[in-house]
Amino acid sequence: MRRTILILPALLYLFLMPLYAQEDQRFIKANQLYTDGKYEEAAQAYEDILKTGVESPELYYNLGNAYYKSGLLPQAILNYERAKLLAPQDKDIEYNLELARSQTIDKIDKVGEFFLKTWIRALRNKADSDTWAYMSIGFFLGLIGMLFLFYFSRTPALKKAGFFSGILFLFLFIVSFSFAHLQKQKLVNRNYAIIFAPTVNVKSSPDSGGTELFVLHEGTKVKILDKVGEWRQIEISDGNRGWINVSTIEVI
C-alpha cells in the first residue's frame, strides 16, 4: 500500500489529521483539489493554511505531494523534510522523501560514521520530541515508585528489586529526556536548507569573487555552518564546505 501513497495521499491523511483539521473546510477543500488532480491549486491551498499559523506533519506531507505532482522537486523535498522534522518516525514521509531525493541531480556520498552513532540516531527518530517527553515523565514516575519501594519495603528481596529497577528507570529517564531535548533542538535550530536555484556555484569565500569550489543543483540538502551578510557557509553530506548566497536556499 505504501507504493500507492503518491496517488491518494491526501485521502489517506485526511483521516489521520487532528479533529480540528477535519472540521476545517480549508483542509477539506485542499484535499479535494488534490484528489481532483488540481495539484497547483491544492499546493496553494495548503500554503494558505500554513500562513494562518496551522502546522502539522500531515499538512507538510500533503503539500510536498502536491508540489511533487506539479513537478516542483525542491519544494516537494523541502516540505517532506519539514514533515519529517515533526514526525521523524513516519515511514510514509521517509519513503516519499527518498523517492524525491532520488530524482535530484547531485549524487553525494555520505561521510562514514561510527555505527553506534547511526543506531542511536535511528532510535531517537522512532518518536518525536513530545512522545519522548511523555515517556521521560513516565520513567521518572517509575523511578519515584521504585525509590519508595526501596526505602519503605521491609523485605530484602523487594528492596533489591526496587534498587535495581530504580537504576533501570533512571537510565531510561535520562535517555528519553535527552532524546526529547535533541528532537526539540532540531525543531528550534533550523540549520539545514534545500538548494532552490537550478545551479549554484559554491565559493571559497563569502563574496562573488571567491574561487568556485564545486557546483550544486536544486533539491540538494545542505547544512548551514556560518553566515556573513547575505552569504552562508554550507556543508554537504560528503564533508565538502563552501559559501553560497542566501537567496539560493530555503531553510527547512
Q: Look up residue 32 and give its three cell numbers.
A: 479535494
Residue 106 inside a domain? The answer is no
pLDDT at 236: 95
The span from the CA of 231 to the CA of 245, in Å, is: 5
pLDDT digits (tens, 9 = 90+) for 168-193: 999 999 999 999 999 999 888 889 99
Closest of 250, 125, 118 to residue 194, by C-alpha: 250
Domain boundary among the residues 137, 170, 188 is at 188
Burial (CB < 10 A; 0-12, 13-18, 19+), residue 138, is middle
Tens-digit pLDDT profile for residues 144-155: 999 999 999 889
From CA 198, how far away is CA 184, in angstroms rounded? 32
- CA separation for the pair 13, 226 (Å, rounded): 37
Considering the domain boundaries, does residue 110 fall inside one? no
Q: What is the CATH number of the domain that holds 206?
A: 2.30.30.40
Residues 90 and 126 in one domain: no
Tell which of 188, 207, 241 closes a domain.
188
Count up the domains in the chain and report the number. 3
Residues 36 and 78 both lie in one domain: yes
**Does the structure show a pLDDT above 50 at 86?**
yes
* pLDDT of 18: 52
| 103: three-class secondary structure by DSSP | coil
Residues 14 and 93 in one domain: yes
The vertex-21 CA angle with 20 and 22, nearest 5°, equals: 95
Residue-wise pLDDT for 31-42, tens only, equals 999 999 999 999
For the entire predicted model, the pTM comes to 0.82
**Are 90 and 19 in a shared domain?**
yes
Q: In terms of residue numbers, what domain contains 183?
A: 115-188
- pLDDT at residue 3 in the model: 42
Instruction: Report the mean per-residue pLDDT for the chain.
Output: 89
